[in-house]
Each structure stands twice: as C-alpha cells, then as structure tokens.
Amino acid sequence: MRRKLIAGNWKMHGNLVDNEALLHGILAGMGDVKAGVAVSVPFPYLAQVKAKLAGSRIAWGAQNVSQHAKGAYTGEISAAMLNDFECKYVIVGHSERRAVYGESDQLVAEKYAAAQTAGLVPILCVGETLEERESGVTEAVVARQIDAVLAKSGVISLANAVIAYEPVWAIGTGRTASPEQAQAVHAFIRGKIRGLDADVANNLVIQYGGSVKGANAAELFVQPDIDGGLIGGASLSAEEFLAICRAG
Ligand code: PGA
C-alpha cells in the first residue's frame, strides 16, 4: 500500500519571520496527520527549515537544482549543496521552470539524474497546458516528459522518485482538475510505468498538483492512483495545509 505524500511548494514566497510562524503552526497540528509531509522552500531558507524541522515528521527540500555537480555556474545550486542542508526532496521540471525559464525535457532529465546521484529524491513535475489538453495531446505530452527521464536514468530510477502530475491550467488558477480528470492521467502514468516494471509502478507515488485546497483534497486523494499532492498557494497557510495533510 502506497503512503500518501503531501508536499508544500512555497514557490518564491516567505521571509524569516513568516516562515517561523508557518512552520510552527504546521508542526503544532501534525498530531492527527497520517500522510508523509514535506515542504519545498526557497534556497535561502533551507537552514531555517532544517533547524526548525529536524527531528520532526516533516521532511524538507528545494524547488530546483543544477544539472551540474560543481563549477563555474554563477547563481546555480548543486545537489551536494542541498545535501548539506539535509534536504530529502527536490522539485524538478516544475511547469514554471519549464515555461518561464525554458527548461527542456532534456534539461529536466539531467537535473533529475543529478539529484538522484546525490541521494536526493526528485519530485518530477509533468503536465499539459490548456491548449494541449484541448487539442487532445495530454497523454502524449506527459509521456514525452517522462520518456526523457526514462531514457537518461531508466525505469528503476523511479523507485527513488516521486512524480507530480500538475496540469498547467490548474496551477494557481483556482481551477482544479476534477478527480476523474486527474485520476485518468494518473492511471495513464502508472500504466505506462507498469509496462516497464510492475513493482516500480505499484510503489510509485504520483502526486496531483494544481489548486488543491482543504475543501477538494479528500475527493482527489481517494482516487486509486492519486497518492497525495504538491501544494502551492494553500501550503502558505498552516491551517489550510494541515487540512490537506489530514485528507491524505
Ligand atoms: P497551486 O500550485 O497549488 O497554487 O495551484 C501547485 C504547484 O505549482 O505546485
């Protein structure tokens, strides 16, 4: 039985004072949470979350990583640096990275591999735009994004990874995919992996992301192939994030 994983994605939000209150609030409400919980925070706050969350049930991670191990890459952050802050997870291929920073499937696959080489668990984001959904290519897009990772790292790499299905049209828009729409894509993803390795497919955590809130989390998480969520906006409120965690 797969355990649900709820991961917050703070994006470029927060400051030392607000983070302290947010983390305090989440920690205080974890008593009745059964799911795995993690937060992905901006790089400068990794030391803060490590200090605050060490020894708790909440894991932490980053939102991006360099594909390179080290070198003359001004402004970049390596996977080994994330290890120094005891990150467990790192998000790779978030649609904002793909759309705003031009990250290709190939680059995302390199970042995924760099994260795994350093022992981090990549959360690989995949998902289609509204235009792609409306032209009927959702599965082709998601397959292409996953195939780049499979070509570089192989299906066995998914034994130490998480996939987050995040339809771009649902991110930050308040327009959540219906449980049926999300489940259909999750089942497609798991079926694709099952064709390569049944054990890996059965154990693979596939999160849904895109306007998940306390009010809609349960109906999403009850779907057979939805194993929790990657939570943006709602992860910035302890109360709302905890409501989602409790639905997991
Ligand atoms: P959202 O973001 O929950 O604010 O839609 C999800 C994400 O981008 O990971």
**DSSP codes joined into one string, 197-217:** -HHHHHH-EEEEESS--HHHH
Both structure tokens of 201 = 């497919």
94 included as an active-site residue: yes
pLDDT for the residue numbered 33: 98
- Which entry of 94, 110, 128, 132 is annotated as an active-site residue? 94
d(CA 237, CA 18): 10
> CB count, 10 Å around CB of 1?
4
Helix axes 46-53, 16-28, angle to 10 degrees: 30
Model confidence pLDDT, tens digit, residues 38-97: 999 999 999 999 999 999 999 999 999 999 999 999 999 999 999 999 999 999 999 999
| Interval between CA 151 and ligand 1 midpoint (Å) | 27
Distance from CA of residue 204 to its chain's centroid? 13
In the residue annotation, 166 being an active-site residue is answered as: yes
**Residue identifier of the C-alpha nearest atom 1 of ligand 1:** 232
Amino acid at 107: L
Answer yes or no: pTM beyond 0.95. yes
What pLDDT is stored for residue 58 in this prediction?
Answer: 98
The fold for domain 5-247 equals TIM Barrel (3.20.20)
With a pLDDT cut of 90, the percent of the chain lying above it is 97
pLDDT of 174: 86
Query: Are 19 and 46 a contacting pair, CB within 8 Å?
Result: no
Domain boundaries, the chain: 5-247
